[in-house]
Amino acid sequence: MNADEQRLHANCAARIRAIQAFHMDGRGWLDIAYNHVFCRHGFVFAGRGFGARSAANGTTRANDAYFAICFLGNDSAGRADITPPGFRALTSLVREYRRRYPGGRRVRPHSDFFGTECPGDELRALIRKL
C-alpha cells in the first residue's frame, strides 16, 4: 500500500466507529448492525462477528436468516470502487462464512430484502459471481 492509500486507510477504523456510534446512539441498537465490514484496502473489521444476529438486512426475517457484510466505500456508477484487495477481502470472508456455516451457501445483496440501491451495481454483480 502506498503512502496515499495508507493515509486513506487510516480513516477506515474511525469511519466504522462512527457507524457503530450511529447504530448504538442514533438507532438504540446494541452494536454496529453488520457482522463484518471490509474496506477497499483489503482489511476486514469485525462488527458483531460470526454467529451473532445481524440488524442490517432490512427485515426481521432477513436478519434471522442472513449475516451482513458491509463494504466501507462507495459504489459509484461507471467507476470500479471495489479494488482487487477489497475483492480478495470479500471473497475470503465469504469463504470463511461458508466454512463455518456449510448449510448457508447463498449470498444476497441488501436490495433483495429491502427497497434500496444498496449495495450498488458493482457489488451486486460481484455478489452474483459469489
Q: Read off the CATH number of the domain in which 9 is found.
A: 3.40.80.10
- Residue corresponding to grid cell 452474483: 128
The total number of structural domains in the chain stands at 1
pTM of the model as a whole: 0.84
Cα–Cα distance for residue pair 94/123, rounded to 1 Å = 13
How many CB atoms neighbour CB 44 within 10 A?
Answer: 16
Q: Which domain holds residue 33?
A: 3-129
Chain segment 71-121, per-residue pLDDT in tens: 887 655 666 678 889 889 999 998 998 899 988 777 776 676 767 677 667
pLDDT the model gives residue 79: 61
Contact in structure between 47 and 70 (CB atoms under 8 Å): yes
